Structures are given as C-alpha cells and as structure tokens.
A and B are shown apart, each in its own frame.
Chain A
Amino acid sequence: MSTRVGVVTFPGSLDDGDAARAVRLAGADAVGLWHADPDLHGVDAVVLPGGFSYGDYLRGGAIARFAPVMETIADAVRDGLPVLGICNGFQILCEAHILPGALIRNQHMHFRARDQRLRIEAVQPVWTNAFTDSQEVVIPIKHGEGRYVADERTLDALEANGQVVARYVGGNPNGAQRDIAAISNVAGNVVGIMPHPEHAVDALTGPSTDGLSFFTSMLKFLAGAPADQGAS
C-alpha cells in the first residue's frame, strides 16, 4: 500500500502542485487537502506549500494558521505526524507556534529569487535521513519575508538541540539570524524550510535534484527503514 502524503491548499497557495509532484516523484501518493476541511483523510504526512496564502495579508501565514485543517494538523503533530512547511508553510508553522521564532521582511527589502546553496546541519530521522552531515545542496529560494528571527535564548536552544536543519552558505539571502534556512521542532517530525525543495527534484526544471531527498527521507522514515542518526 502506497504512502499517502497530504498537500494543503490555502487560498493563495502557489506551490501545492509542485509539492504534490515532488511527493509523486519520491514514490508516494499525493493527496490534496483543502484548508477549510479539518479531515486529514488518513494521510501519513503533510506538506504545507509555498505561496501567498490570504495574500500575505497582515503577516505571511497569520490568517492561514486559523484554517480548520491547521487545528487538526496541530493535534496530529503532537502525535508525531511528519509535517514539512515550505516557505509560506514555514511562516504558517511559526504563526501557529508549532515552530519557534518568526519570518520577517528580508533585511535588504528585496524579494529574492535565486538558486541558493545550503548546508544540511542536522541529519534527523524524519525529514533529512537521506542527506549526509554537512552536505551542501542547491535549492531555489523565492521570498520577500524569509528572514528568520528569534530571541537569543531560542536560537541557542535550537543550536544546542540540533534543531537547525539547514543554513545558508555562500551568502545569506535575507539576513536570517545565524544564517538559518530551516529548523525542526524538538521531536523532529516538523520541519520548516524557507527554500523550495519541491523546485529541485528533477534536472530539467531545477538546479539540482537535492530537494527530492527531503521527500525520500520522509518516505524512508514512514517505511520503518533504520534511521540514519548522523551527527546530532
């Protein structure tokens, strides 16, 4: 039986289609989840895609976090549901306080769209077991509010707990503190990432296929494959 991965569509989501495609390329069934439907339809994992939910009105993700589907996801996360929040999805997870910190306006005030080098900082059992420690990857970014901020105590805790999943290398595109591009919750089942792994899944349409490893990691985890603990 094939693994089912839900991809949520909010009003204004843009990259739900590409996220679903990445799920299929990784070898799972993509299940469309509607923001107003609190039912997760038995999916084994969820992707919150990129885009401009509710036009980024008020703050990116500020309104989407109150969607009915998010209430169910918040509960399911506590039970270990794997969730990947990409760009706007990362913003929604922070607004929902499922992940700490916040994403604010890029420091240089420009919307930045480019292929970005990242270093994978934490090889975790759920979303990054297919990477090697300190592996450098190239994944596109496209955002105007991608600057990750949190107070010093939170940043220190993220570092100490191995919750920093990826950092920008070769230039910080948005002024994110400690060059943070992706973080996880303490349990590791939830990852928020500003770059777009779903745009780096095949050689024809992306700068690399590095993004696919997030999705294959998750499938490997769900299949019960022995997790690569890696360096913590």
Chain B
Amino acid sequence: MPLALYQVRWGTFVSFREAHTSGPAADSGKICVHSQECPVARVVVDVMLKPEILDPQGQAVAGALPRLGVSDVTSVRIGRRIEIEFAGEPDLDKAREIADKLLANPVIEDFSLHIDTALGTQDGTVKPDSDSQESEPAEAPA
C-alpha cells in the first residue's frame, strides 16, 4: 500500500515538524506548522500484548517504581500507540486492516483504535509548565 497517502507516527517519539500543504489545515487557507495547534483528524491505534503473554518489560518498569517512592502499583504492562493521518477523511476500516495486518501481531497482541479529532498540538505531548525547557513553537507565516 502506498505509504505516501498516510503519515504514520510512532507514539513513543516526538514527531518532526512539517508544513501541511494539503488536508483540512491547508483548506482553511493557511499553512500550519505541526508544532502549532491545527485540527487534524487521525486514527489512533493502541496495541497491547495479550493478557496471557508475560511482559518482562512492564515488570522491569514496575520494579523501578519503588525508586520513585511508589509502592502501591501491582502491575505495569507496556504497549505501543500509533497515530495514522489520512490524506482525506480518516478511514476506520482501512486503519483496522492496517492494524490487523501490520501494526499488531494477532498471535500475541490485541489492538483498539479510535478517531482522534481533538484540537491540539501536533507533537502530542502534554503542554509543558512555563518553567520547563520545551522549545518555543514556530510562528506561522501571516
């Protein structure tokens, strides 16, 4: 399938900045730089190991929590989140096919997906506190 039709972003990395030249943001007549707020409908796929599969990575993280002073967590399991942006309207059926064939291995993983239409910053991070080290978002051209 031509991946040029979609942008697939890996949930554990911060996305790189890129200008929209098509899609809903461009239709509004302005160029929208990713780090700014712009409305983009995307499908979010969450992939988790099936519950019967041992997750030693989650266990390792759980084992580290006491070092943070946390003692009442009984389980940690780690999956991955994938964000898919379509050139047009988000296609849940196509996304489900992508998830079933590639993003998740149905032998060992389950997935769920949903359309994420929230207006928000494109890098998906939580907005930092004012005294944090996050860099300034670029100004859009007037």
Report A's interface with B, CB cutoff 8 A. Answer: 58-59, 62-63, 66, 94-95, 100-102, 104-109, 149-151, 175
Contacts and interface: CB of A to CB of B under 8 A. Distances in A.
Contacts of B53: 104, 149
B54 interface: yes
A102 B105 contact: yes
A32 to B, nearest CB: 27
Contacts of B107: 94, 100-102, 149-150
15 contacts: A58-B102, A59-B105, A66-B102, A100-B107, A101-B107, A102-B105, A104-B49, A104-B53, A105-B56, A105-B57, A106-B56, A107-B56, A108-B56, A151-B52, A175-B54
B60 interface: yes
Interface of B: 49, 52-54, 56-57, 60, 102-103, 105, 107-108
A45 to B, nearest CB: 26
B110 to A, nearest CB: 13
Contacts of B56: 105-109
Contacts of B103: 58
B78 to A, nearest CB: 10
Contacts of B60: 109
A115 to B, nearest CB: 24
Given A104-B108, A105-B56, A109-B57, 19 more contacts: A58-B102, A59-B105, A63-B102, A66-B102, A100-B107, A102-B108, A104-B49, A104-B53, A106-B56, A107-B54, A107-B56, A108-B56, A109-B56, A109-B60, A149-B107, A149-B108, A150-B107, A151-B52, A175-B54
A204 B54 CA distance: 39
Nearest to A66: B102
A66 B97 CA distance: 14
A102 B50 CA distance: 12
Nearest to A101: B107
B105 A62 contact: yes
A172 to B, nearest CB: 13
Contacts of B102: 58, 62-63, 66
7 interchain residue pairs of minimum CB distance = A102-B107, A102-B108, A109-B56, A107-B56, A102-B105, A59-B105, A109-B60
Quick one: which of B57, B102, B107, B108 has the most chain A CB within 10 A? B107
B3 to A, nearest CB: 11
A121 to B, nearest CB: 22
B100 to A, nearest CB: 12
Nearest to A107: B56
A127 B120 CA distance: 56
A149 B108 CA distance: 8
Nearest to A106: B56
A150 B54 CA distance: 12
A95 B56 CA distance: 21
